[in-house]
Amino acid sequence: MGIDYNIARFLFYAARKGCSFERTATIGRQCLYLTADDLTHLLHSFGYGPEKQVGHRLLKEGDGYAEPLFDILKTKTLRSSACRPMKVRQTYANSIVQSTPR
């Protein structure tokens, strides 16, 4: 699961229109499926800073995951859930879901 170019564009558009991402939940930890150049282009087109290599920096900071993108969207609480048969386990954004021994 992850955020591609169109989903990122939708999120930035929603934020511009007043949508709050202050408390956000995702289904699983989200990867970023867009290039650093595409991310930089999106950020610039929605007015998020003049830094030329911002996309590269965000992909590196998040190790390919979307937490830095949610920081830009002013997310204060980010939770993800991993679903398993008959069980739902809650994790925080910086946690890695571990397999439970059976």
Question: Is 99 a member of any domain?
Answer: no
Question: Is 101 a member of any domain?
Answer: no
**Residue 8 or 48, more confident:** 8
Question: Is 97 a member of any domain?
Answer: no
Question: Is 73 a member of any domain?
Answer: yes
Q: Dump pLDDT digits (tens) for 20-78.
A: 999 999 998 899 999 999 999 999 999 887 777 888 988 998 899 999 999 999 999 99
In this model, does residue 93 exceed pLDDT 60?
no
Q: Which token pair is 48? A: 């998020």
Question: Is 102 a member of any domain?
Answer: no
Task: Tell which residue, 95, 96, 40, 90, has the closest CA to residue 69.
Answer: 40
Q: Which token pair is 78? A: 């980010």
For tokens 């934020």, the residue is: 15
Q: Which token pair is 43? A: 């950020």
Question: Is 47 a member of any domain?
Answer: yes
> Phi, psi at residue 45, to the nearest 5°?
-70, -20
Is-contact 10 64, C-beta < 8 A?
A: no
Question: Is 42 a member of any domain?
Answer: yes
| Distance from chain centroid for Cα 42 | 14
How far apart CA 71 and CA 15 sit, in angstroms, is 12
* Full residue range of the structural domain in which residue 16 is found: 2-92
Question: Is 23 a member of any domain?
Answer: yes
Overall number of domains in the chain: 1
Residue 76: per-residue pLDDT = 94
Q: Dump pLDDT digits (tens) for 77-86.
A: 999 887 554 4
* pTM attached to this predicted model: 0.75
How far apart CA 71 and CA 59 sit, in angstroms, is 13
